C-alpha cells in the first residue's frame, strides 16, 4: 500500500472502507458505472485523489442515475432544500435510515445529551425534509423523548415548553431570537424554563475563530442555555457536530470521508480554509464520491480537548456560488447578516441581490416599516458601510409581510437572502 495512505488524513481502515464504497458504486450506480473502475487492495489515497469530483450539477442533471437500489428497496425519499438551486432527490434504504439514526445519536451524545433528555423539534418533519426525520430517528436511538412541534408559532412553542418541560430544543437559531423576543413581550421568564441546551441547525452561531457571532451572542447574552453548532447537508446523510468542548464540528469518520480543498487544488492544512468535499460511507441508496458541497470552511486537524482525534470544521464562511461582487468589493452573505444582527432592534430582515444594467450586483436590505423613522437607522447604515465597505440600499415593509417573506411555509430554513 502506498505510504501516502498512512498520513493522518486517511487511516488504513478508512482506505479499506473507501475501496468498498468505490467498488459498490462501480457495480450498482448507473452514474458512476462508466466513470470509475473496480479497484483492489493496491489502491491508494493518491489514486483516490485522481478520481473526478461529483458536482451539484451532476446530481441535478442525472438525479435518478445516482440511485443504486431497486425501487422496492427504497424506504424513504428525501429532497435537498433547494437553497442553491432546484431540489434534488435522494433515495434511502432501511439501512440508510439506520445510518442516519446512528449519526444523530452520535452527534447528540457528543453534545452531552442522554436518554434523560426531552427534545422539542422546531423543524418540519414532513415535505421530504431529511433533518426532521434524522433528528427524530436519532432521538429514538438515544432512547430519549421528543415533542414534534414543527417550525414557527412562538405562542405554541412556549405553551409546549411550559407544559411538557423539554430540556433541549432543535431549531434554526434565528428563530430562537424570535422566541426570546416573544417571551419578553409576554412576561415569560425563559431563564427559569426547563430548557438547558439548543441544537442549532441551518445557520452559523460562531465566527471563524470559533467565538460566538452576533446571532450566537444574542441568544447566550439573553438566555442561560448551552447552544451547539452543527453542519450538514441532505446529500451527506450525516452531520458534523460540536462536542462539549465547542472547538469546531467533529467529522463522523465512520460515515464520511472528508477533504477540504483550497483554491489551488491542494489539501487544506490545520487552520486553513477550503471547499468541503465528501465521500459518503456505508450508503446504499444514493452514495456520492468526492462530492463538492460548494461550502467554504476552515478545518482543524489537532486533537480536540474532548479527546476526539477526528478533524473538525469551523462555521461555513460562504458558498462558492453566493459570492457577491458589489461596487468593487467581494463579499459573502454572512458579512451582511453579521452587520445587521449586531442590532437587537432588528428581529427580521431580508437581503435581495439584483443585477444592474452593467451586470454588477446591487444589494437591497428589507427592514420593518418602523425603521423608516427609527433612531438607529443611521447607525445601521454606518455599520454596514464600515463592515461591508459599501452602503446597500434600504427598503421598508410591514412587519408581518416581511416575516412571511423570510419564514415561508414551504421553505425549511429562513430565506434571509434571495438572488434575483
**Which grid coordinates belong to 82?**
433547494
The crossing angle, in degrees rounded to 10, of helices 173-185 and 154-164 is 80
The per-residue pLDDT for 329 is: 64
Domains and CATH numbers, the chain: 3-92+234-318 (3.40.50.12780), 98-228 (3.40.50.12780), 323-419 (3.30.300.30)
The per-residue pLDDT for 7 is: 42
Owner of C-alpha cell 462508466: 34
The per-residue pLDDT for 59 is: 93
Q: Are strands 273-280 and 312-313 parallel, antiparallel or unpaired?
A: unpaired
pLDDT per residue rounded down to tens, the chain (420 residues): 333 333 447 888 889 999 999 999 999 999 999 899 899 989 999 999 999 999 999 999 999 999 999 999 999 999 886 555 567 899 999 999 999 999 999 999 999 999 999 999 998 888 888 999 999 999 999 999 999 998 888 999 999 999 999 999 999 998 999 899 999 999 999 999 999 999 999 888 998 889 998 889 999 999 999 999 999 989 999 999 999 999 999 999 999 999 999 989 999 999 999 999 999 999 999 999 999 999 999 999 999 999 999 999 999 887 766 667 676 666 778 788 888 988 988 988 999 988 776 566 788 999 999 998 888 999 999 998 888 877 889 999 998 899 888 887 666 678 888 887
Q: How many CA atoms lie within 13 A of 25 on its CB side?
A: 27
The per-residue pLDDT for 202 is: 84
The per-residue pLDDT for 109 is: 97
pTM: predicted TM-score of the whole model, two decimal places: 0.79
The per-residue pLDDT for 407 is: 81
SS (H, E, C) the chain: CCHHHHCCCCCHHHHHHHHHHHHHHHHHCCCCCCCCCCCCCCCCHHHHCCCCCECHHHHHHCHHHHCCCCHHHCCEEEECCCCCCCCCEEEECHHHHHHHHHHHHHHHHHCCCCCCCEEEECCCCCCCEHHHHHHHHHHHHCCCEEEECCCCCHHHHHHHHHHHCCCEEEECHHHHHHHHHHHHHCCCCHHHCCCCEEEECCCCCECCCCCECHHHHHHHCCCCCEEECEEEECCCCEEEEECCCCCCEECCCCCEEEEEECCCCCECCCCCEEEEEEEECCCCCCCCCCEEEEEEEEEECCCCCCCCCCCEECCCCEEHHHCEEECCEEECHHHHHHHHCCCCCCCCCEEEEEECCCCCEEEEEEEEHHHHCCCCHHHHHHHHHHHHCCCCEEEEECHHHHHHHHCCCCCCCCCCEEEC
Note whether 56 and 87 are within 8 A (CB).
no
The per-residue pLDDT for 63 is: 95
Amino acid at each position: 500500500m502506498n505510504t501516502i495512505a498512512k498520513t493522518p488524513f486517511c487511516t488504513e481502515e478508512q482506505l479499506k472502507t473507501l475501496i468498498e464504497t468505490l467498488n459498490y458504486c462501480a457495480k450498482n450506480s448507473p452514474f458512476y458505472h462508466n466513470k470509475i473502475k473496480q479497484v483492489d487492495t493496491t489502491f491508494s489515497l493518491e489514486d483516490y485523489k485522481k478520481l473526478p469530483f461529483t458536482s451539484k450539477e451532476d446530481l441535478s442533471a442525472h438525479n435518478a442515475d445516482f440511485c443504486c437500489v431497486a425501487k422496492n428497496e427504497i424506504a424513504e425519499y428525501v429532497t435537498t432544500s433547494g437553497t442553491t438551486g432546484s431540489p434534488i432527490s435522494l433515495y434511502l434504504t432501511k439501512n440508510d435510515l439506520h445510518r442516519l439514526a446512528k449519526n444523530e445519536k452520535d452527534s447528540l451524545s457528543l453534545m452531552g445529551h442522554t436518554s434523560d433528555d426531552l427534545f422539542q423539534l422546531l423543524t418540519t418533519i414532513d415535505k421530504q425534509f431529511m433533518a426532521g426525520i434524522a433528528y427524530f430517528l436519532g432521538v429514538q436511538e438515544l432512547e430519549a423523548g421528543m415533542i414534534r412541534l414543527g417550525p414557527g408559532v412562538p405562542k405554541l412553542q412556549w405553551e409546549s415548553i411550559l407544559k411538557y418541560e423539554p430540556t433541549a430544543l432543535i431549531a434554526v437559531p434565528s428563530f430562537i431570537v424570535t422566541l426570546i423576543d416573544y417571551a419578553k413581550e409576554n412576561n415569560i421568564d425563559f431563564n427559569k424554563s426547563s430548557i438547558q441546551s439548543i441544537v442549532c441547525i441551518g445557520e452559523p452561531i460562531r465566527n471563524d475563530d470559533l467565538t460566538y457571532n452576533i446571532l450566537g451572542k444574542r441568544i447566550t447574552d439573553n438566555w442561560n442555555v448551552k447552544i451547539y453548532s452543527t453542519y450538514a447537508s441532505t446529500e451527506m446523510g450525516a452531520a458534523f457536530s460540536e462536542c462539549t468542548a465547542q472547538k469546531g464540528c467533529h467529522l463522523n469518520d465512520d460515515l464520511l470521508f472528508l477533504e477540504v480543498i483550497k483554491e489551488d487544488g491542494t489539501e487544506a492544512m490545520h487552520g486553513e480554509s477550503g471547499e468541503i468535499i465528501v465521500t459518503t460511507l456505508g450508503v446504499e441508496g444514493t452514495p456520492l464520491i468526492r462530492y463538492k458541497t460548494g461550502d467554504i470552511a476552515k478545518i482543524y486537524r489537532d486533537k480536540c480537548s474532548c479527546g476526539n482525534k477526528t478533524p473538525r470544521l469551523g462555521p461555513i464562511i460562504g458558498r462558492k456560488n453566493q459570492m457577491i461582487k458589489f461596487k468593487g468589493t467581494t463579499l459573502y452573505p454572512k458579512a451582511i447578516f453579521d452587520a445587521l444582527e449586531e442590532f437587537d432592534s432588528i428581529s427580521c430582515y431580508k437581503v435581495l441581490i439584483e443585477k444592474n444594467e452593467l451586470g454588477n450586483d446591487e444589494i437591497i436590505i428589507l427592514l420593518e416599516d418602523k425603521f423608516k423613522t427609527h433612531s438607529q437607522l443611521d447607525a445601521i447604515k454606518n455599520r454596514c458601510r464600515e463592515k461591508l465597505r459599501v452602503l446597500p440600499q434600504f427598503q421598508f415593509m410591514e412587519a408581518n409581510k416581511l416575516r412571511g417573506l423570510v419564514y415561508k411555509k414551504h421553505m425549511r430554513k429562513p430565506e434571509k437572502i434571495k438572488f434575483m
